A and B are shown apart, each in its own frame.
Chain A
Amino acid sequence: MPDVQPLVSDFVLKLKRRKVEGSHAVARQTAELLRSVVSQHRMGSSANQAAALADAVRAVGEQLIAANPIELAVGNIVRRVLHIIKEEDISSTAVGIEGLSVTVDSDGEYDSEHDDRPALSAAVLAAHARNALRAPSLQTLLEDIPVSPAISRTASSTGDSDGKSKSAGDKSSTRKLKHDVIAAIGDLIDEIDSCYEPISEQAVELIHQNEVILTLGRSRTVKEFLYAAKEKKRSFRVFVAEGAPRYQGHVLAKELVEKGVQTTVITDSAVFAMISRVNMVIVGAHAIMANGGVIAPVGMNMVALAAQRHAVPFVVVAGSHKLCPLYPHNPEVLLNELKSPSDLLDFGEFSDCMNFSTQDGSPLLNVVNPTFDYVPPKLVSLFITDTGGHSPSYMYRLIAEYYSADDLVVRRKATS
């Protein structure tokens, strides 16, 4: 796809130079970019259209993820799109199989394979295929169907039979696949755009009259959540921890006051002192990992610990694009980024402490400015996503709804 390459490299550069930041913006732009990748993708005459398309997406996705591995939303969206392609492929082939079941059955080459399950109709097959994209659920286990081999076989057989017997209808079906995928990505973009609404709809159920809410820093999701509660005539107070060193809490306080919410700004270090008066902690997240752990702005772990100590519910609100199918390994280091120390200290004032010529070359002053904290799942009481409230232990299941297991590692396959 030479046509989209400038777009891709432009976005890669933006990601690399940290010009686009924040899960929402990143997710949205990734989805838009992938949509144009798909629409520019020239569907070749090769048999396996969906695989080719997925490969194209994977190739771009790999670059994007490498450009800024910290923005997990990029990877999430790439995986979502891959999943969409797979789903659309299966549903379209399912339709094809329904129409062509006779042809397939009479095709001698595949007889032996289909002999295993002659009773299985194409529609059922497709339904199972859909299931197979998800993690093995109890239902499939009970039905005792060898899912994965069946899928690979059907996929290849249908693909081949498409190529052989359906050359006339080929074009239209591939066009349909592409069209469907683009439409589905469009839906995804809409979902990202409107993710605040279903979340904030749940606000009234969680925030009760005269409660005290504590939050840290500024998250747009949290802001919308609190706005929604305020609009429903709930009266409550908010403690805003300022969120050093970026002090986004100040911005949030301003916005809340504009909406008429009773707001108190505290320093991050005062959280523990205040937590006993708090009814609920509501915070945003950078990403939710598959184990239910949360990557969140720095300082969050401390807040979560304080909340646990005083048995205050710790609620994380996040759109589904923040659901990451990966498990955190060494999250403090690997899923973190150190920003410029200039947020903390003024370089000019401290330049004499960084005078290497006088201290045998090793700096005595180190300034570390990590962006994120990792909050382990046991400290989180509840997740609120656009599909409702879930406990941390349910996260893996929710993630299985959105992603297919073999996309966890986004890497272009050497073959095909």
Chain B
Amino acid sequence: MSHKKSRGRGGGGGAAASGDGHEDLARPPPLQAVLLADSFTLKFRPITLERPKVLLPLVHMPMIEYTLTWLESAGVEDAFVFCCAHSHQVKEYLEKAGWAGKSGPGSMAVTAVESHDAISAGDALRVIYDRGVIHGDFVLISGDTVSNMSLKDALQEHMDRKKKDPLAVMTMVIKHSKPSILTHQTRLGNDEIVMAIDPETKELLYYEDRADNSHLYITIDKDILNNNPTLQLHNDMEDCYIDICSPEVLSLFTDNFDYQHLRRHFVKGLLVDDIMGYKIYTHELRSGYAARIDNFRSYDTVSKDVIQRWTYPMVPDVISSRDCSESRLHRQGVYKASDVTLSPSAQIGANSVVGSVTSIGDHCKVLNSVIGEGCKIGKNVLINGSFIWDNVIIEDGCKVSNSLVCDGVHLRAGAIVEPGCVLSFKVEVGKNVVVPAHSKVSLLPQPSNEDSDEELEYADTNSGITDSPPFSSMRSNGDQSTVPLEEDESGTSETGTCGVVGYIWTSVDTGIVEEWRQSIAPIPKEKLEELLHAVSDDDGSEDESNNPTLPDKDDSSDSVVEDDDHISKFEKEVEETFQRALGGGVNRDNLILEINGLRLAYSLQHADCAGAVFYSVMKSALVAAQSTNDTLLKTTADALGKWKDLLRNYTKTVDEEMEILLKFEEMCQETTKEFSLLFPKILPYLYDTEVVSEDAILRWAEEKEHADESDKVFVKQSEGFIKWLKEAEEEDDEEEE
């Protein structure tokens, strides 16, 4: 009802209604928009090193095209595109697509605003303010937002409110979403948002987007409760990141030069600050679609929403980028361009898009995937849930599942891309190579963090669970991106002529835990159960019950959820891999790579790896030796000598060394009793080869002191050695002193 009223009032004051949506906007000043063509995050790295995020194709059309199209159809007359990183590419695109330099009635003037030192949305808005181009109300949106909502009501509400209360500076567009247990995080991969809204005035009173998982509660200021007799707490709202702002917003950003993030700083800052008394209101989206592509997960989700036509008319068969040929919608949601070459035996499953001039060979299967233009896909290829951009060559027998494959990538025959991978521009994957799950491969090396030098970067924030060391060896093989790195990763191939051209990136900013949350691949079953489990544990608190993932506590949750079965499976695979390596052919670096891949696939930690590798080494020694203890000792020593480098790779910390010792102990007790007698003899050897340090041994001994008698067997056996170590240490200390 309120909508109707306000609309009626607006119609009375404005021009004669033509039902066109223009009558509200025909008045001076024209509606303006600020489009941030830079997300100021690194979530789309490594792709964004080469192309700005807003130009990444979302179902064949660059994201910014969706945003601009929507702005134009929403009646915006003046749009300022703020570009920072890759600004020339953005500008070039605007020229080419015909956005820039357009003027006249009914069309939107697009101006690029360039700045190279902006590192946040706050900086961007300050630059816009300095240019002095915004005169009236404007729409603030980032260039990765897809929407088809009608802006009319929200605008009208905003203007009416503004007339009554000049302090109402911003209207935030929010969207209802099902307050299901999982939806929030799993659908778009975002953090949950908790908002407090006055049900009468729709004023936003509280906003929390990083509802931290470690504390399952929110804190609301008493004053808020005092001043507002009624208040609704929402955890079922999605922030569309579409804001209608008054010009004051820009000056607020300039006044508060420490505002960086739109939500975290600006919105929260305004809500907390009651001296100025600025107010933010919300507009709930009733019909229409709006979503922002924030990470790979939401890229996947929004793509599928587009294919399912929630964004109509912004769907592939209606609006295509201007130069490409028409694609048509066939049954079951298959979009095919007219000039696709499709083998009769190829099978295109539901909800797929195939771009023009693409050819697909015999017996291929394409399911839930988007394939760009000019791709060549060989025979017997399986593409599932993936996004293949333009001019990709996929040779016979490849398998690509739930991955993102950028322009110009070349997959040679038999290559397998496991779920969650991102292959950046022009990466080449060799014959029969398996790209392990969640890898990010780029031709460009991973840039180092500003505050840490090259060495530190490898072992940075992820402390302990970083997988960089093994990859660093790979990186050192090719100091130039043009040098192909012949890395044999494949488990099955004996040819050795395969590899990946490119650098495999370690996950720097997101961390291993985020990977499954924000990748294209569906969430693994066990993680899902974990989420559900965590939810059912505390269904009491209304808001936080939706907040079950504990990304910071991965270690603990892992050990709880990953049952023994999981680990033993992993061990078995490591052992098999190791056996293959023993069989010859596979060199050490590749072995490390492969084991790392397995580790990622099972989402385990380095310590687990260390244990598993050690187990395999010992096992191999046992197989080689036949019966007597002497030969066993000898082969063990040989094996350890041979593989000490490998083991050292995993024994970076005392914890991991401890793990080896514990594993060894466990082996002696349970699986391979042959070693039990040799324990005290092998232990010094482990020390000599620097697989385990004295610290680890001493700590191990210390821990065992309080254990059961049965557990102490081996400590006792090696008492002499431990004693010697202790003495040596004391001597060292004395010498130092």
Contacts from A to B (Cβ < 8 Å): 6, 10, 13-14, 16-19, 66, 333-334, 337-342, 346-352, 354-363, 366-367, 369
Identify the 5 closest CB pairs spanning chains A and B, nearest first.
A361-B385, A348-B176, A340-B312, A352-B180, A352-B178
Contact with A along B555-584 (1 / 0, CB 8 A): 000000000000000000000000000000
Interchain nearest-CB distance for B290 vs A (Å): 9
Bound together, the chains give a CA A18 to CA B180 distance in angstroms of 34
Partner of A348, one of B177, B305, B318: B177
- Indicate whether B106 reaches chain A with its CB closer than 8 angstroms: yes
Contact with A along B69-88 (1 / 0, CB 8 A): 10001000000000000000
Cβ of A348: which chain B residues have Cβ within 8 Å of it?
175-178, 236, 238
Are A17 and B73 touching (Cβ within 8 A)? yes
A10-B107, A340-B289 known; A354 vs B305 contact (CB < 8 Å): yes
Interchain nearest-CB distance for A211 vs B (Å): 34
Bound together, the chains give a CA A360 to CA B528 distance in angstroms of 12
Cβ of A356: which chain B residues have Cβ within 8 Å of it?
187, 300-301, 304, 522
Contacts from B to A (Cβ < 8 Å): 69, 73, 104, 106-107, 148, 175-178, 180, 182-183, 186-187, 189, 236, 238, 287-289, 297, 300-301, 304-305, 308-313, 318-319, 326, 328-331, 333, 350-351, 367-368, 384-385, 402, 521-523, 528
Are A351 and B351 touching (Cβ within 8 A)? no
A17-B319, A359-B522, A360-B522 known; A366 vs B308 contact (CB < 8 Å): yes
Bound together, the chains give a CA A350 to CA B175 distance in angstroms of 13
Are A347 and B187 touching (Cβ within 8 A)? no
Partner of B384, one of A338, A354, A361: A361
Bound together, the chains give a CA A14 to CA B104 distance in angstroms of 14
Cβ of B287: which chain A residues have Cβ within 8 Å of it?
342
Are A355 and B183 touching (Cβ within 8 A)? yes
Cβ of A367: which chain B residues have Cβ within 8 Å of it?
308
Bound together, the chains give a CA A363 to CA B313 distance in angstroms of 21
Interchain nearest-CB distance for A248 vs B (Å): 15
- Name 18 interchain pairs, CB-CB below 8 A, sorted by A: A10-B104, A16-B319, A337-B318, A341-B309, A341-B310, A342-B287, A348-B178, A355-B180, A356-B187, A356-B522, A357-B186, A357-B301, A357-B522, A357-B523, A360-B522, A361-B368, A361-B385, A363-B351
Are B313 and A18 touching (Cβ within 8 A)? yes
Are A18 and B318 touching (Cβ within 8 A)? yes
- Other than the known A340-B312, A356-B301, what 5 A-B pairs have Cβ atoms closer than 8 Å? A13-B107, A354-B305, A360-B522, A361-B521, A366-B308
Partner of A333, one of B176, B187, B330, B402: B330
Are A354 and B313 touching (Cβ within 8 A)? no
Q: Residue of B at shortest CB range from A338?
A: B309
Cβ of A340: which chain B residues have Cβ within 8 Å of it?
148, 289, 309-312
Cβ of B350: which chain A residues have Cβ within 8 Å of it?
362, 366
Partner of B297, one of A14, A338, A357: A357
Q: Residue of A at shortest CB range from B385?
A: A361
Q: Residue of A at shortest CB range from B328?
A: A334
Are B385 and A362 touching (Cβ within 8 A)? yes
Are B182 and A358 touching (Cβ within 8 A)? yes
Bound together, the chains give a CA A341 to CA B367 distance in angstroms of 21
Cβ of B189: which chain A residues have Cβ within 8 Å of it?
357
Partner of B309, one of A10, A349, A369: A369
Cβ of B186: which chain A residues have Cβ within 8 Å of it?
355, 357-358
Are B304 and A354 touching (Cβ within 8 A)? yes
Q: Which of the listed residues B236, B300, B305 has the most CB atoms from chain A within 10 Å of its own CB?
A: B305
Partner of A350, one of B178, B300, B309: B178
Partner of A338, one of B106, B329, B385: B329
Bound together, the chains give a CA A13 to CA B68 distance in angstroms of 13
Cβ of A347: which chain B residues have Cβ within 8 Å of it?
175, 177, 289, 310
Cβ of B69: which chain A residues have Cβ within 8 Å of it?
17
Cβ of A351: which chain B residues have Cβ within 8 Å of it?
177-178, 180, 183, 187
Are A355 and B351 touching (Cβ within 8 A)? no
Main secondary structure of the interface of B (DSSP, over half): loop
Are B331 and A355 touching (Cβ within 8 A)? no
Cβ of B311: which chain A residues have Cβ within 8 Å of it?
340
Interchain nearest-CB distance for B691 vs A (Å): 40
Are A361 and B310 touching (Cβ within 8 A)? no
Cβ of A357: which chain B residues have Cβ within 8 Å of it?
186-187, 189, 297, 300-301, 522-523
Partner of B522, one of A66, A350, A361: A361
Bound together, the chains give a CA A367 to CA B528 distance in angstroms of 26
Bound together, the chains give a CA A360 to CA B236 distance in angstroms of 24
Are B330 and A10 touching (Cβ within 8 A)? no
Are A358 and B178 touching (Cβ within 8 A)? no
Are B333 and A333 touching (Cβ within 8 A)? no
Are A363 and B308 touching (Cβ within 8 A)? yes
Cβ of A6: which chain B residues have Cβ within 8 Å of it?
104
A17-B69, A340-B309 known; A362 vs B187 contact (CB < 8 Å): no
Partner of B312, one of A66, A339, A346, A363: A339
Cβ of B310: which chain A residues have Cβ within 8 Å of it?
340-342, 347
Bound together, the chains give a CA A406 to CA B312 distance in angstroms of 35
Cβ of A13: which chain B residues have Cβ within 8 Å of it?
107
Bound together, the chains give a CA A349 to CA B238 distance in angstroms of 12
Bound together, the chains give a CA A362 to CA B350 distance in angstroms of 9
Q: Residue of A at shortest CB range from B103?
A: A6
Cβ of B528: which chain A residues have Cβ within 8 Å of it?
358
Are A354 and B330 touching (Cβ within 8 A)? no
Bound together, the chains give a CA A362 to CA B332 distance in angstroms of 13
Q: Residue of A at shortest CB range from B20?
A: A19
Interchain nearest-CB distance for A63 vs B (Å): 12
Bound together, the chains give a CA A369 to CA B402 distance in angstroms of 28
Bound together, the chains give a CA A358 to CA B313 distance in angstroms of 27
Are B289 and A352 touching (Cβ within 8 A)? no
Interchain nearest-CB distance for A66 vs B (Å): 7
A341-B309, A357-B523, A362-B385 known; A349 vs B318 contact (CB < 8 Å): no
Bound together, the chains give a CA A347 to CA B305 distance in angstroms of 10
Are A355 and B182 touching (Cβ within 8 A)? yes
Are A333 and B319 touching (Cβ within 8 A)? no
Interchain nearest-CB distance for B311 vs A (Å): 7
Are A362 and B177 touching (Cβ within 8 A)? no
Partner of B351, one of A337, A350, A362: A362
Bound together, the chains give a CA A361 to CA B178 distance in angstroms of 19
Bound together, the chains give a CA A242 to CA B293 distance in angstroms of 38
Cβ of B187: which chain A residues have Cβ within 8 Å of it?
351-352, 354-357
Bound together, the chains give a CA A7 to CA B328 distance in angstroms of 26
Cβ of B312: which chain A residues have Cβ within 8 Å of it?
18, 338-340, 342
Q: Residue of B at shortest CB range from A10?
A: B106
Partner of B308, one of A333, A337, A349, A354: A354
Cβ of A337: which chain B residues have Cβ within 8 Å of it?
318
Bound together, the chains give a CA A398 to CA B385 distance in angstroms of 50
Are B104 and A366 touching (Cβ within 8 A)? no
Cβ of B330: which chain A residues have Cβ within 8 Å of it?
333
Q: Residue of B at shortest CB range from A365?
A: B308
Interchain nearest-CB distance for B732 vs A (Å): 54
Q: Residue of A at shortest CB range from B107?
A: A10
Bound together, the chains give a CA A346 to CA B300 distance in angstroms of 21
Bound together, the chains give a CA A356 to CA B331 distance in angstroms of 21
Bound together, the chains give a CA A363 to CA B288 distance in angstroms of 20
Interchain nearest-CB distance for B48 vs A (Å): 22
Interchain nearest-CB distance for A103 vs B (Å): 49
Q: Which of the listed residues B310, B367, B368, B385 has the most CB atoms from chain A within 10 Å of its own CB?
A: B310
A340-B311, A347-B289 known; A362 vs B301 contact (CB < 8 Å): no
Bound together, the chains give a CA A27 to CA B36 distance in angstroms of 39
Interchain nearest-CB distance for A336 vs B (Å): 9
Are B180 and A358 touching (Cβ within 8 A)? no
Bound together, the chains give a CA A19 to CA B107 distance in angstroms of 13
Interchain nearest-CB distance for A372 vs B (Å): 13
Bound together, the chains give a CA A340 to CA B308 distance in angstroms of 8
Bound together, the chains give a CA A351 to CA B311 distance in angstroms of 14
Cβ of A14: which chain B residues have Cβ within 8 Å of it?
106
Partner of A339, one of B238, B309, B521: B309
Interchain nearest-CB distance for B68 vs A (Å): 12
